[in-house]
Structure 1
């Protein structure tokens, strides 16, 4: 089980790095995958904000995991669960949302909560 949680956490961090990089490099396809459509007029400010947020979060998760700072990773994941919760509500608030676009956000919430609680519960205080 310990390895499963480790690899799920690593995968989560690496996926966030990928998603963040995609928002920075390919903003429109990333927006579509996120689940919303905005008229940007060529201004990708939202995309860059989202991209750097996800890239940073993914890098921090991977660093904490590789540094074996599991308790800190647990707190980060629990606190960070608010991000996919809000992302879910943003997608759902659009009148033309597609249900399939909600699933990645819902899965991210569940993963953050399960992984976060696991690391906090199984890691002793220093």
Structure 2
């Protein structure tokens, strides 16, 4: 189980890095895949904000995991579960949302809660 949860956490962090980079490099494509479409008028400021948020979160998860700070990784994941929860609700409130675009956010919520709890509960306090 330890190996499975380690690699699931690593995968989650790497996916966040990928998603963040996509928002920084190809913001419109990333936005559509995220599940919304907004008229930006060519201003991608919010895309870049989202991109750097995801890039930072992914890097933090990967770095904490690789330095064996499992308890800190768990707390970061639990606190970070707020992000996909809000993302889910934003997409759900968008007038022309597509149900399939909700699934990645729902999966992220479950993963953050499950992996976060695992890392906290299976790591001794220092």
- TM-score, normalised via structure 1 length: 1.00
> Could you say which residue in structure 2 is the equivalent of 1:124?
124
For the residues of structure 2 that align with 1:62 and 1:119, how far apart are their CA atoms?
13
Structure 1 runs (4+) deviating above 2 angstroms are none
Deviation of 1:95 (Å) = 1.0
Alignment of 1:39-78 (within 5 A): 39-78=39-78
For the residues of structure 1 that align with 2:22 and 2:44, how far apart are their CA atoms?
12
> Could you say which residue in structure 2 is the equivalent of 1:17?
17
> Could you say which residue in structure 2 is the equivalent of 1:34?
34
Deviations 1:20-39 (CA, angstroms, capped at 9, x unpaired): 00000000000000000000
For the residues of structure 2 that align with 1:118 and 1:66, how far apart are their CA atoms?
16
For the residues of structure 2 that align with 1:50 and 1:82, how far apart are their CA atoms?
14
- TM-score, normalised via structure 2 length: 1.00
> Could you say which residue in structure 2 is the equivalent of 1:88?
88
Unmatched 5+ stretches in structure 1: none
What is the RMSD of the two structures over their aligned residues, measured on CA atoms?
0.3
Deviation of 1:89 (Å) = 0.3
Report how many residues are paired: 126
Unmatched 5+ stretches in structure 2: none
For the residues of structure 1 that align with 2:22 and 2:82, how far apart are their CA atoms?
21
For the residues of structure 1 that align with 2:33 and 2:3, how far apart are their CA atoms?
29
